Amino acid sequence: MWRIDTARDVLSAQTRKPVVVTRLYTGPDGQTHAEEIEMKFTGGANSEVSQMMPVTGAELHRQPANTFVDWHPGPRRQYVITLSGRGEIEVAGGKKIPLGPGQINLIEDTTGKGHITKGVGAEDRVTLWLPLADQTPR
């Protein structure tokens, strides 16, 4: 039987860990930069939900652990979500962004120098790519 404990539910909602997306974008200097964006959620009947993000499809990618892709811009505006394995992205100024299971990246650096992507560890990295329907540069 399900039980509702309002005080506990309120406390749980107040202490939830935020869902953060790392956004890669091209700055006015032509370099890729990164910023963290906290996703916004609204209450639903059984869960919280974010704003709908129209996508054009979904692709699963598997990269060997030793993958190294030198400087390159993103192929299109898309979300890339790491499902398993580990990796790292390097952006302007040598800033390194660790990638692991559950990491959500919003790739918007479709022009300029781009970023470096490499595998870390011994396990292949499996990602889900979700190209956005709106390809307007941001």
Kindly report, residue by residue over 23-43, the tens digit of the pLDDT.
Answer: 999 999 999 999 999 999 998
Q: What is the mean pLDDT of residues 1-22?
A: 70
Smallest CA-to-CA distance from 129 within 87, 90, 74 is with 74
> Mean of the per-residue pLDDT values for the chain?
92
Length of the chain: 138
Q: Which CATH architecture has domain 6-131?
A: Sandwich (2.60)
Question: Euclidean distance between the first and final Cα of the chain, in Å?
Answer: 49
Look at residue 7 in the predicted model and tell me its pLDDT. 58
